[in-house]
């Protein structure tokens, strides 16, 4: 099978028939074999009933339904696990992503050998209250991850199958799949300008909390990618630095009192005494945090999980 199309959805019953018809037409016109995976993230409307009816008409349609709403990351995660295609393409169910982009995304992965191709909604049909924060968020994501994408959060993306099988999604990490792929060793990440269409049915399912959760998740992804398997390198380095800053201040105060000014003033009456004391305490705390993190990591079931892409002999 050439393509697996993973579509997470929540209360999108009205758009599903149009989306299915559009995808099927594009696949047939381009003679591409495919499976269409609808992941119902606990919808309260008739979305699942629509999926069941569509699957009776088209054997390429598969569906998974959550008991309750777990979020887009969970939906994509189970979709990735179920996907059997050579290339996995994700898109939203609200008809704002165009299925006409699928053949070119597939070509970029299979012929240009991209590991990940992310869509870029260069012209957006969103209000300023959404586009301005999105620009700031994408700028920060580029600076922190080192991946030069204009639109990290675009739902229309294409992946080699082995990429999605090598990463784990949870929380709201769906925004940072390119970063997760990079930290897993997949460096060839491309971008394609895609059409952004105005929503035809329903309302957006994302609230203002994404503007808080997004930056927090970005920091988590960046930290886990760089220090997830060696937390002591982060916490320990800060701890040692802070400890020696405090120790150096204590040494300076002692030398100043005994050899330079010969003052009778008690060290405890000086402001820099408390600065040094706090610095040493913070340093010890950071070091112990790194030590505890290392102990936890050594007992983790994934501590020796490495991606092997080639093997010769037994």
pLDDT at 206: 58
Q: Is the pLDDT of residue 207 over 70?
A: no
When pLDDT is cut at 50, 70 and 90, the band that residue 133 belongs to is confident
Q: Is the pLDDT of residue 308 over 70?
A: no
Kind and range of the H or E element at 72?
helix 72-82
Give backbone dihedrals phi and psi of 107, rounded to 5 degrees, phi first.
-65, -40
When pLDDT is cut at 50, 70 and 90, the band that residue 200 belongs to is confident
Distance CA 132, CA 150 (A): 13
pLDDT digits (tens, 9 = 90+) for 75-112: 999 999 999 999 999 999 999 999 999 999 999 999 99
Question: Residues 94, 95, 101, 106: is their CA dihedral positive or negative?
Answer: positive
Give backbone dihedrals phi and psi of 5, rounded to 5 degrees, phi first.
-105, 115
The architecture of the domain spanning 3-227 is Alpha-Beta Complex (3.90)
pLDDT at 311: 46
% of residues, the chain, pLDDT over 70:
86
When pLDDT is cut at 50, 70 and 90, the band that residue 203 belongs to is low
pLDDT at 58: 93
Q: Which strands, in side-by-side order, build the sheet including 34-40? A: 61-65, 34-40, 3-9, 87-90, 157-160, 116-120, 189-193
pLDDT at 302: 55
User: pTM for the complete prediction?
Assistant: 0.74
When pLDDT is cut at 50, 70 and 90, the band that residue 269 belongs to is confident
Query: Half-sphere exposure (CA, 13 Å, Cβ side) for 37?
Result: 22
Sole residue written with tokens 């982060």: 234
Quick one: which of 76, 95, 103 has its CA closest to 181? 76
- Identify whether the C-beta of residue 172 lies closer than 8 Å to the C-beta of residue 72: yes
Q: Is the pLDDT of residue 168 over 90?
A: no
């Amino acid at each position: 099978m050439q393509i697996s199309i993973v579509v997470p959805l929540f209360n999108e019953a009205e758009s599903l028939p149009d989306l299915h018809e559009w995808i099927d037409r594009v696949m047939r016109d381009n003679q591409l074999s495919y499976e269409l995976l609808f992941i119902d993230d606990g919808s309260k409307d008739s979305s699942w009933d629509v999926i069941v009816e569509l699957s009776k008409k088209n054997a390429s349609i598969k569906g998974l339904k959550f008991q309750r709403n777990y979020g887009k990351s969970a939906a994509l995660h189970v979709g990735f696990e179920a996907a059997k295609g050579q290339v996995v393409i994700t898109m939203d169910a609200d008809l704002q992503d165009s299925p006409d982009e699928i053949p070119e995304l597939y070509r970029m992965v299979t012929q240009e050998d991209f590991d990940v191709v992310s869509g870029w909604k260069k012209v957006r049909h969103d209000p300023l209250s959404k586009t301005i924060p999105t620009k700031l968020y994408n700028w920060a994501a580029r600076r922190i991850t080192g991946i030069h994408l204009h639109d990290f959060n675009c739902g229309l993306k294409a992946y080699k199958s082995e990429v999605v099988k090598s990463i784990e999604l949870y929380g709201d990490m769906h925004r940072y799949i390119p970063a997760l792929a990079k930290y897993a060793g997949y460096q060839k990440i491309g971008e394609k300008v895609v059409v952004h269409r105005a929503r035809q049915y329903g309302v957006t399912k994302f609230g203002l909390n994404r503007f808080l959760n997004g930056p927090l998740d970005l920091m988590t992804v960046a930290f886990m990618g760089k220090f997830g398997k060696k937390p002591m390198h982060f916490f320990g380095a800060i701890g040692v630095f802070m400890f020696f800053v405090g120790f150096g201040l204590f040494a300076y105060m002692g030398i100043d009192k005994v050899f330079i000014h010969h003052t009778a003033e008690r060290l405890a009456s000086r402001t820099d005494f408390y600065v040094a004391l706090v610095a040493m305490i913070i340093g010890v705390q950071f070091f112990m945090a790194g030590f505890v993190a290392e102990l936890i990591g050594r007992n983790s079931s994934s501590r020796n999980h490495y991606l092997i892409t080639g093997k010769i002999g037994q």
